[in-house]
Amino acid sequence: MSAARFTLVVCATADGFIARAPGHSPAEWASPEEQAVFLAAVDAADWAVMGRGTHEAAPRPDRRRIVLSGSASHPEWRAPGQFWLDPTGRAPSDLPGLVGGVRPLREGLILGGTRAHDWFHAHRAVDAVELTVEPVSFGAGLPVFSDQRAREAVEAFLEKGYRVRAERRLNSGGTRLVSLGPRG
């Protein structure tokens, strides 16, 4: 089995936040253009990987999800196509073997939140980033990474060692889609 490829798909504000607070879904504040890009990526992926808070903010029993949660005392299927596990002591490379019996994991999406981003980054398992930057500001909230110093999401990825590969405008309002990847 070849290694899975993981793409971090995230929407952030101009001041570098992914939500005002836990449970605050980008669907509440992101542009229709961002939501179209996001839904196309979700439809194309084999599995979406996210933290419990992200899962609970937008529950979708019809989607294949791997939910990372410290409350999962052991890896378990809590619904058809929804696998829960505590990521402690595990690596992203373990995921294909855990869910492959339901559907092979070749293309996975990392959908947040902050701790899920941290976990994948710590394991050097982010193969690509699709970052949408919306021209709104929260002033405070949940950052892309827990130790983020930058006040802008692209800068947060640059600080972590990623590089910009492409950038394009999604609409006349200033929404940008920035594609990044690991340096090297």
Please say if the pLDDT value at position 92 is more than 80. Answer: yes
pLDDT in tens, 95-114: 999 999 999 999 999 999 99
What's the number of domains the chain is made of?
A: 1
CATH code of residue 86: 3.40.430.10
pLDDT in tens, 32-73: 999 999 999 999 999 999 999 999 998 899 999 999 999 999
pLDDT in tens, 105-162: 999 999 999 999 999 999 999 999 999 999 999 999 999 999 998 889 999 999 999 9
Residue range(s) defining the domain that contains residue 113: 5-182
* pLDDT for the residue numbered 184: 73
Please say if the pLDDT value at position 168 is more than 60. Answer: yes
Report field, pTM of the whole predicted structure over 0.75: yes
Give a three-class secondary structure readout of the chain. Answer: CCCCEEEEEEEEECCCEEECCCCCCHHHCCCHHHHHHHHHHHHHCCEEEEEHHHHHHCCCCCCCEEEECCCCCCCEEEECCEEEECCCCCCHHHHHHHHCCCCCCCEEEECCCHHHHHHHHHCCCCCEEEEEEECCCCCCCEECCCCCCCCCHHHHHHHCCEEEEEEEECCCCCCEEEEEEECC
Please say if the pLDDT value at position 2 is more than 70. Answer: no
